[in-house]
């Protein structure tokens, strides 16, 4: 599903910096079909990088992932970071994907009362500007 946050021209939050190492990831978000690097020996990794931290393989393919995972931990933020002033509180979270890697993200479509560590979550593609789509997560309904 797609969520558009604010008008594109007013998006003030930090944006990634595209590099040859991470472009495959952000391109996949733009296409609303998350892919992560999977090395020649089958290890997924995140954040995108040039070498497999487990086996040092330089070979990899951008490989589709389920977009489903488990809420490892989270923090409701009441004093916003720059650009987050319009959503207080917001939920910062670490999500462990079923494929293994952990993503830092925001949980959306939830409340402090509903959220629990260990909860199942799924990716939500947020088209935050014409150029950028980010991966947010929400509780699996």
Partner 1 sequence: MARTFPMQDKVAIIGVGRSPYGRDLVGRTTPSLVAEAARNAITDARIPKEEIDGICGTHAVEFEDLQEHLGIPRITWTSNIMQRYQQSHQIIYAASAVFAGLCRTALVARGSRAYAGSSARTNPFRATADRRGSISRTPVETSLEFEGWWAHVGDAYGAWGARYMHEYKEPREAFGMIAINNRMHASKNPLAQLRTPITMDDYLNARMIREPWSVLDLDFPVDHGDACVVTTVEHARELGVDDRMVVLHAATLGEGKSGTNYYEQTPDIRSLATWMVADSLWEKSEIKRKDVQIFFPYDGFTFIALFWLLATGWCGLGEAHDYLKAQLLPDGATLKLDGRTYLSTNGGSLSEGASQGSNYIYEAVRQLRREVEPERQVEGCSAVLLTIGGIFHNGSGMILRRA
Tallying the residues shown for the chain, one arrives at 141
Considering the complex, state which of residue 100 and residue 141 has its C-beta at the smaller distance from partner 1: 100
Provide CB contacts within 8 A for 86, sequence distance 6+.
6
Please report, for residues 14, 76, 116, the alpha-carbon distance to residue 112 in angstroms, rounded to integers and kept in the order given: 24, 7, 9
> Binding to partner 1 by residue 114, rule CB under 8 A?
no
The answer to whether residue 103 forms part of the interface with partner 1 (CB under 8 A) is yes
Binder among 7, 9, 56, 78 for partner 1 (CB under 8 A): 78
Q: Residue 73, interface with partner 1 (CB under 8 A)?
A: yes
* Of 20, 45, 26, residue with least CA distance to 128: 26
- Residues lying near partner 1 in the complex (CB under 8 A) are found at 12, 14-17, 46-47, 53, 72-83, 89, 92-94, 101-104, 112, 117
């Amino acid at each position: 599903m797609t969520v558009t946050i604010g008008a594109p021209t007013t998006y003030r939050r930090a944006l990634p910096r595209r590099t040859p190492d991470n472009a495959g990831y952000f391109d996949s978000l733009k296409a609303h079909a998350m892919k992560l690097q999977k090395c020649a020996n089958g290890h997924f990794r995140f954040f995108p990088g040039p070498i497999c931290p487990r086996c040092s393989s330089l070979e990899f393919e951008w490989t589709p992932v389920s977009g489903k995972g488990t809420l490892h931990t989270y923090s409701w933020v009441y004093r916003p970071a720059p650009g987050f002033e319009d959503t207080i509180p917001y939920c910062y979270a670490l999500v462990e994907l079923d494929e293994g890697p952990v993503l830092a993200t925001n949980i959306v479509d939830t409340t402090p009362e509903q959220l629990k560590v260990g909860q199942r979550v799924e990716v939500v593609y947020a088209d935050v500007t014409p150029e950028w789509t980010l991966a947010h997560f929400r509780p699996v309904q």
